[in-house]
Structure 1
Amino acid sequence: MIGIIGAMEEEISKLKEIMENKELNKIAGMEFVKGEIRGRQVTVVRSGIGKVNAAACTQILVDRFGVDIVINTGIAGSLKNEINIGDIVLSTDTVIHDMNVEGFGYKRGQVPRMDVFAFPTDDKLRSIAKEICEKELIDISVFEGRVLSGDIFVSDRATKEDLKKTFDGYCTEMEGAAIAQVAYLNDIRVLIVRAISDKADDSASMDYAEFERKAIENCVKLTTKLIETIDAPHYCQ
């Protein structure tokens, strides 16, 4: 079973429209829609915004729907000059950038007593997604790199530069690292897919509304093709 998480309804509504044999389950204030996309068994859900919502949503997918793969699709702010609005970032790993326990000797971003600093994502899923991007989304660029998450909408240059310098992140958003952390704890495969909707600087509020729609379109196209391509039962063995 593949779980698809989007933080906002706009990020998953198109996926739900193309689903067949839909079954709705309401759990913890979230609507989990189980069904088929392109012949694959999937559960699609809007988690809500922020790390707590995202983590709760992911654990429900594991416990109640038995997912083996989680794809988190959505939008993000670019942290690198070469990554432009509309481009896609595929996660190599994720870091919670607003985790700070430096007072106890931990590196900034480190979750205390966890055995990893950055939560890994799946290499094979990322490879498949990259190939799809290069074939299907030829008018944009695709990047592979670290996704940063925090309960902050980054919209100023000072914060952007700090995140770049500290974590070498490719983009910043508010859910991916929490999803990847839960996937890590449950030993399931995960990929964070982010379409760039703004540059995470002083232009963010100006760019966001204008470019959000196109960024979501790119994410939906990639996610749909990724579902088609993954041989989920074989892949999860």
Structure 2
Amino acid sequence: MAYRGRVSHTSPTVVVLTALAVEYAAVRAHVPEREELVHPDGTRVERGRLPDTDWHVVLAELGEGNGTAATLTTQIVSWLKPEALLFVGIAGSLKDDIGIGDVVVGTKVYGIHGGKRTPEGFQVRPEAWPVSNALVSAARSAARDMSGVRAHFKPIASGDVVLADAGSDVARHLRRNYNDAAAIEMEGVGALQAAHLNGQLHALVVRGISDRADPGKHEADAAGSQERAAAQAASVAVAVLRKHRPRASSSNSADSEEGPHRGPAYGGDHIDFRGGVFHGPVTGKRTEQQR
């Protein structure tokens, strides 16, 4: 059933974005019951509860490219007001020790096309978009408990190019200017830029490796590497969400991520409103009746 018009924002929501149908199907398999939501402009997403968590997961298949990702991420975030945003999908490996089926969790994402063309050549103007430390930390914790998944925490390169030639100008550009990047994909910069401009979102990019960004890409894809890589990335993303609690759940928990203290977030003559509309303690005085 499709729901149109205004959407309730009372439940903690995470938006999980994908570019391709194979990526969408891999994440969708973890959300057994879903409803379709339709934005007034026609964008369609599915929403369902992630089992054994407080999260309502909104799934969206955006299509390829950073421009599309930036535009539709902005629209979806403004519409559904999520607490967190993940871009989950496949990528090509840029490192010999990161193989097909491994997962790269982006510690930052580079936009690889920025620069200036001069008579002396192309001068790179690097741009890197940050990810959420809380989500990276949750991913590191989750990865330690996962069997059958090799996770790497490295920068990711993002540009509107499919790289299938390790000797190409693009490959040389990456090795020369972004040599710490472990994987290359096409949407992470757009999604993170939209999340960054929102200013209130935890955001992360999780990519399963489906090829080595070389001429063997076609053979790897034909052998089912995309399905395998997408499934691995989806499993890591779900494990992250099982670790990272919604704000409302965290503030009510004895082992809240909001601080190292345990027990209730109040005591003495101080009431702690962290997790509310503003931050910091509010000092007041209790009457004899309240005592």
Both structures adopt the same fold (TM-score exceeding 0.5): yes
Counterpart selection for 2:38 from 25, 30, 43 = 25
Which structure 2 residues correspond to residues 1-237 of structure 1 after superposition, within 5 A? 1-17=13-29, 18-20=31-33, 22-26=35-39, 30-38=43-51, 39-103=54-118, 108-110=124-126, 117-136=127-146, 138-158=147-167, 159-168=170-179, 169-187=181-199, 188-210=201-223, 211-233=225-247, 234=250, 237=275
Residue identity opposite 1:162 in structure 2: H
SS of structure 2 residue aligned to 1:20: coil
Distance 1:15 1:78, change over 3 A: closer
Residue identity opposite 1:170 in structure 2: A
TM-score when scaled to structure 2?
Answer: 0.72
Q: Of the two, which has the highest radius of gyration?
A: 2
CA distance in 1, matches of 2:95, 2:26: 29
1:92-131 CA distances to partner (integer Å, 9 max, x unpaired)?
111111233355x995254xxxxxx311001221121122
Residue identity opposite 2:178 in structure 1: F
Distance 1:109 1:198, change over 3 A: farther
Distance 1:80 1:36, change over 3 A: same
The list of structure 1 runs, each at least 4 consecutive aligned residues, that deviate by more than 6 angstroms after superposition, is none
1:30-82 CA distances to partner (integer Å, 9 max, x unpaired)?
42112311241221100111111111121012210001211110000001111
Distance 1:14 1:94, change over 3 A: closer
Cα offset for 1:144? 1.0
| RMSD of aligned Cα (Å) | 2.4
CA distance in 2, matches of 1:20, 1:232: 20
Number of aligned positions between the proteins:
230
Distance 1:151 1:19, change over 3 A: same
SS of structure 2 residue aligned to 1:118: strand
1:139-181 CA distances to partner (integer Å, 9 max, x unpaired)?
3421111111111000101233431221121100100111111
Q: Which residue number in structure 1 is paired with residue 281 of structure 2?
A: none
Distance 1:106 1:119, change over 3 A: farther
Consecutive unaligned residues in structure 2, runs of 5 or more: 1-12, 251-256, 259-274, 276-291
Whichever structure has more helix as a proportion of its residues is 1
SS of structure 2 residue aligned to 1:73: strand
TM-score when scaled to structure 1?
Answer: 0.87
The answer to whether the 8 Å contact 2:22/2:226 transfers is no
- Give the % identical residues: 24
SS of structure 1 residue aligned to 2:163: coil
SS of structure 2 residue aligned to 1:163: helix
Which structure exhibits the higher relative contact order, with contacts defined as CA atoms closer than 8 Å and separated by 6 or more residues?
A: 1
Consecutive unaligned residues in structure 1, runs of 5 or more: 111-116
